[in-house]
Structure 1
Amino acid sequence: MIMNEKKELQVAALENGTVIDHIPSDKLFTVVSLLNLKDMDSNITIGYNLESKKLGKKGIIKIADKFFTDEEINRISVVASNIKLNVIRNYAVVEKKEAIMPDELKGIVKCNNPKCITNNEPMQTWFHVTDKEKGLLKCHYCEKEQQKDNIKLI
C-alpha cells in the first residue's frame, strides 16, 4: 500500500461563511479583536504563522455562517491592507472581496491630539483618509494628521 504525503494544512471545509485570508501574522489578533470574534457563537478556525509566498507568514480566519458588512470589512483595512475575503455558500466561493480603506473612519481610531474634543467629550472620533497609499488620516474636528502605522484603535 502506497501512502500519499499531504503537505497542506487540513482544515475542515466551510459550508457557509467567510474566509479572511492574507492577514499579516503580526496583525492577525488585531483583526480578531476589531471584528469582535470572541463574542460570536459561530465555529471559528484561526490559522497563525502559515506559510505564504506573498507575505512569508500569514494568518487566516474561517468563520461559519457569518457574512460581514462592508463597514465591518473596512474596519480591518485600517490595520492591514490587501486582506482578502472569500464568501462561501454550499462549500463554494461565491464572492471575493478585498479590505479597502474607506474615505472616512468613524469610531475606529483614537485621535492622538490630547486637546481634541474627542478625547475630552463623549463623542465618536471621525477621520478623513487623505492618502490611502501612505495611510494618512486627518481628524475631522482638530485637523491633526496621523499615519496609519502610528494609530491607536478604540
Structure 2
Amino acid sequence: MNKKERLVAAIENGTVIDHIPAEKTYQVVSVLGLEKLTTPVTIGNYFESKKIGKKGIIKVSDRFFTDAEISQLSVVAPKAVLNIIHDYEVSEKKMVETPNEIRGIVKCNNPVCVTNNEPMETVFNVVDKEHGIIKCRYCDKEQDISKVKLC
C-alpha cells in the first residue's frame, strides 16, 4: 500500500474544521468554546496547505455546529471549511460565511464607546464582507475585522 498516513486520526461522527489560518487556530477554539467540551477534540496546527500556506485543523467528535456558531467563525477564520462527518465519511461541507451582524464576539476599539464603559453586549454591522469592515452599532466607528480583539 502506498497511501500516506493521516496526520490527524479520523473521527466517526462530528465536525472537522479545516483551512484555519495557523495563527488563528486557538482563537477558533476560544470562539467556539471547545475547551469546555467533554467529547474528544483534536487540534492540529501548522500543517502544510496548498491554499493558505500553513493551516490548522480541528476535529470535534460528536459535535455539530449551528449556523450561528459557524457565522462566529468568520471573525477569526473567514475561509475555513467545515466537514460534517457521519460514519467516518464526509456527509456535508459548509463554508464559513460572514453574517450581516456580529454580536458579543469582538470588542470595539474606540475607548470611549459605551460598550467599553458599560456592561453590555457589542453589536457590529458588517459593512464590507469582502474587505472585512465592520461598524459598531453604538459609536459608528468602522474597524478592520482582522485587527479587532475578541471579547
Q: TM-score, normalised by structure 2?
A: 0.94
Shift of 1:51: 1.2
Aligned to 2:21: 24
For residue 43 of structure 2, give the secondary structure of its aligned residue in structure 1.
Answer: strand
Structure 1 position 141 matched with structure 2 position 150: no
CA displacement at 1:5 relative to structure 2? 5.8
Give the Å deviation of 1:71: 1.1
The residue number in structure 2 matching 1:56 is 53
Q: Report the number of matched residues.
A: 151
User: Which structure 2 segments of 5+ residues have no match?
Assistant: none
Deviations 1:69-119 (A, max 9, x none): 111111111112110001111222111101111000000110111111111
* Pair 1:39 & 2:36 matched: yes
User: What CA RMSD, in Å, does the superposition of the two structures yield over aligned residues?
Assistant: 1.3
Counterpart CA distance in 1 for 2:121 and 2:73 is: 18
Shift of 1:9: 2.8
The runs of 5 or more residues in structure 1 that have no matched partner are none
User: 2: distance between equivalents of 1:62 and 1:18?
Assistant: 6
Which runs of structure 1 show a deviation greater than 4 angstroms over 4 or more consecutive aligned residues? none
Q: TM-score, normalised by structure 1?
A: 0.92
Distance (whole Å) between structure 2 residues aligned to residue 10 and residue 34 of structure 1: 24
Letter in 1 for 2:63: K
Deviation, 1:8, is: 3.6
Structure 1 residues 134, 90: CA separation in 2 closer, same or farther (over 3 Å shift)? same
Q: Give runs of aligned pairs for residues 76-87 of structure 1, distance below 5 A.
A: 76-87=73-84
Tell me which residue corresponds to 2:64: 67
